[in-house]
């Protein structure tokens, strides 16, 4: 039986987009502040999970809901389990959108919405690939478990809960990255830098507040500082000149005794900080030379001298390169400073094999001076993950990709983290096409409709080969 995978995929386009629009309209940002007994990670993630499982029920698949934090769509039977791993949660929309991030819209062939490329668009492509296999009655000699999580962008509570109660697949892939394949993922850890309290001293300027960032895996697009005291007469002119020279924008608002400054750069996924313009480090770099109070001066200077425009962590002493997995990346993403409250910075680090989170923690603390800061690992550090290029899983996926696109397949290692790393023989496979702009975690996130449909075709053939 010869199958025109692309033609078959195109036949599903209208239904796929209708289902995808339904998912994209759900604001499924993890929201534990509004959790309930039936929505432990917040109402949005639970609703999106239920909607995804409802698609499976509608189309005749067996489904499972694990405590409204994870789920499964199941097909086929056999001794081995092949896994697909998607997620329904999204990062916060953040500023800078030209459309409503939760009102999906197609413009010039691009589907704009939060989650269109990460990960609702790719997940629905994988789902329709599975549906195609079922509709065509293709041979399936393994169990297929399409596992769906609801907080991949944060703490992985959902997928971990799933694995506590359900069997882990023997091998599989996550449609949550890019083609031709991601068979290596760097380790991921977030380091919380907490500054020691300092006694106040008479100064002409005071840093009252400094804040930026919405998530530890997003380069902050906006940063705000409130300052008070005697500002130089040329201060705002110098600020405007700095912004113009550095390709950032700035707004000021007078407040009692001082000024609030908002600087805007460009958001990006923390896996490659160079793709963004970190508004917080630019703002701190401008402010650091001025005569601020001791606490403010220490905070701003640390950012300006140890973190600004240094995506490889050289000034923090953590730079490291592995010949297979590449360079370590460091992205300071969450900033919180008040005179009487927290004075912290959260640095998201993606590290290759050859170093580890404990070593990185020690190096950061040494670079920033142990007397001034305490550095802790914030949450669970995920170690590096790699599946060898000669593994049959990798070879099959690359072969399908090459046959359907005409482009040579090759191994890739990324700084992003996907559910592919939850099993030993797990990789990430698409759905972003080679050469396509990476807009994951950015304002105006989009995915070309033609790429979603092409992913359906690639996924269907790949799954069919792997489970027959």
Catalytic residue positions? 89, 152
DSSP state of 409: P
- Classified as helix, coil or strand, 301 is helix
3-state DSSP assignment of residue 429: coil
CA distance 154 to 90: 9
**Rounded to whole angstroms, how far apart are CA atoms 24 and 117?**
11
Question: How far apart (Å, rounded) are the C-alpha atoms in residues 151 and 155?
Answer: 6
CA distance 283 to 199: 24
Instruction: Say how far apart CA 352 and CA 433 lie, in whole Å.
Output: 24
∠ CA 12-17-21, nearest 5°, is 155
**CA dihedral of residues 440, 446, 450, 456 (deg, nearest 10):** 50
Q: Alpha-carbon distance 178 to 162, whole Å?
A: 25
d(CA 373, CA 375): 6
- Structure token digits, residue 421: 């790393």
Torsion angles phi and psi, residue 107, rounded to 5: -135, 125
CA distances from 430 to 126, 158, 455 (A): 10, 22, 7
Bond preceding residue 119 cis, omega within 30 of 0: yes
The token pair at 6 is: 């692309």
Cα 67 → chain centroid = 24
Any idea what DSSP says for residue 380? P
In terms of DSSP H, where are the helices of 59-151? 120-136
Q: How far apart are CA 257 and CA 412, in angstroms?
A: 53
Cβ-based neighbours of 243, under 8 Å, separated by 6 or more: 249, 250, 263
Query: Distance of CA 197 to CAs 221, 294, 301, 372, Å?
Result: 28, 10, 15, 8
DSSP readout, 169-208?
PSEEEESSEESS-B-EE-EEEEEEEEEPP------SEEEE
Burial of residue 385 (CB within 10 Å: 0-12, 13-18, 19+) is: buried
* Contact assessment for residue 208 and residue 227, using Cβ atoms and an 8 Å cutoff: yes
């Amino acid at each position: 039986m010869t199958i025109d995978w692309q033609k078959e995929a195109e036949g599903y386009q209208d239904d796929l987009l209708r289902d995808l629009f339904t998912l994209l309209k759900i604001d499924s940002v993890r929201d534990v502040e509004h959790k309930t007994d039936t929505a432990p990670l917040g109402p949005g993630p639970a609703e999106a999970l239920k909607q995804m499982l409802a698609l499976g029920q509608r189309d005749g698949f067996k489904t499972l809901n694990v405590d409204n934090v994870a789920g499964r769509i199941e097909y086929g039977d056999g001794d081995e389990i092949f896994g697909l791993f998607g997620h329904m949660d999204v990062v916060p929309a953040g500023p800078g959108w030209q459309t409503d991030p939760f009102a999906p819209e197609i413009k010039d062939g691009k589907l704009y919405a939060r989650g269109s490329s990460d990960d609702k668009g790719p997940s629905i492509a994988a789902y329709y690939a599975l549906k195609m296999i079922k509709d065509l009655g293709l041979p399936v000699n393994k169990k297929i478990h399409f596992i769906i999580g609801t907080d991949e962008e944060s703490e992985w509570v959902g997928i971990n809960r799933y694995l506590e109660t359900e069997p882990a697949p023997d091998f599989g892939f996550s449609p949550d990255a890019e083609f031709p394949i991601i068979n290596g993922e760097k380790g991921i850890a977030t380091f919380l830098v907490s500054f020691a309290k300092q006694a106040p001293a008479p100064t002409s300027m005071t840093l009252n507040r400094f804040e930026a960032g919405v998530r530890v895996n997003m380069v902050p697009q906006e940063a705000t500082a409130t300052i008070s005291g005697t500002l130089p007469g040329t201060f705002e002119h110098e600020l405007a000149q700095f912004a113009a020279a550095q390709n950032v924008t700035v707004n000021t608002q007078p407040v009692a005794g001082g000024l609030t400054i908002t600087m805007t750069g460009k958001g990006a996924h923390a896996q490659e900080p160079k793709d963004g313009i970190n508004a917080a480090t630019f703002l701190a770099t401008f402010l650091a030379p001025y005569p601020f109070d001791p606490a403010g001066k220490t905070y701003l200077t640390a950012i300006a001298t140890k973190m600004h425009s240094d995506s490889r962590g050289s000034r923090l002493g953590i730079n490291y390169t592995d010949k297979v997995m590449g360079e370590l990346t460091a992205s300071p993403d969450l900033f919180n400073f008040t005179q009487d409250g927290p004075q912290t910075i959260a640095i998201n680090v993606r590290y290759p094999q050859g170093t580890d989170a404990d070593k990185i923690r020690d190096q950061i603390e040494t670079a920033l001076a142990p007397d001034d800061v305490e550095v802790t690992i914030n949450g669970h550090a995920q170690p590096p993950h790699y599946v060898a290029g000669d593994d049959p899983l990798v070879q099959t996926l690359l072969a399908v990709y090459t046959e359907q696109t005409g482009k040579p397949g090759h191994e890739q290692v990324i700084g992003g983290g996907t559910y592919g790393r939850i099993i030993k023989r797990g990789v990430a496979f698409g759905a972003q096409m080679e050469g396509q702009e990476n807009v994951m975690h950015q304002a105006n996130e989009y995915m070309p409709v033609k790429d979603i449909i092409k992913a359906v075709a690639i996924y269907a053939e790949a799954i069919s080969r792997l489970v027959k």
